[in-house]
Structure 1
Amino acid sequence: MELKDTVDLMLSESYKDRFKAEYYQLRIRHDRLQDMLECYKDKTLIFTPKCSYDMLHTQLVYMECYMNVLEERAKVENIEL
């Protein structure tokens, strides 16, 4: 899934669909950042970030926390992700 694939969910009248879009978008961004950090660590990035590895890793950790909250909320609200 790519970000563009979440547009219909994001624009839906259903809060459950919008919730799914939020979760899927976060997951996509998380996974891309995680991949980037692996390349950063391996020194195979095709660019040089202006911020430190530690800052990007902290962002990843917060994204993981946010995903965990959304996953728990999905269980409570019976939203299948």
Structure 2
Amino acid sequence: MATYKKMELKDTVSLMCSDDYKERFKAEYAQVAVRYEKLKAMLDRWDEGKLNFQPTCPRGIYNFQIRAMADYIASLEARAAIEGIEL
């Protein structure tokens, strides 16, 4: 996932529009990785008491979401390895 840390969602547009499914796969992976990192950063700030807003959802919902995202990333990484897609 480290490769996609510096990407933004807008950087995935050309990959997402590709006719090549491997390029679209990379975009899908990058998008979830970017979203995961942003949510993780928010949760870290929450834990540190440094949020500049009051979340409306209970923390348990966010915990469930980040676990689901981590599982999704892991499944994409497994598929990539099997299908020979370099992430």
TM-score of the superposition, structure 1-length normalised? Answer: 0.97
Tell whether 2:37 aligns with 1:40: no
* Runs (5+) with no aligned partner, structure 1: none
Alignment map for 1:21-40 (pairs within 5 Å) = 21-40=27-46
Question: By how many angstroms is 1:54 displaced?
Answer: 1.4
* Aligned equivalent of 1:9: 15
Q: Is the 8 A contact 1:10 1:22 kept in 2?
A: yes
Q: How many residues align?
A: 81
- Which of structure 1's runs of 4+ aligned residues deviate more than 2 A? none
Deviates more, 1:37-46 or 1:18-27: 37-46
Q: Identity percentage over the alignment?
A: 47
Please report the TM-score for the alignment, with normalisation by the length of structure 2.
Answer: 0.91
RMSD: 0.6
Deviations 1:23-64 (A, max 9, x none): 000000000000000111111111111001111011000000
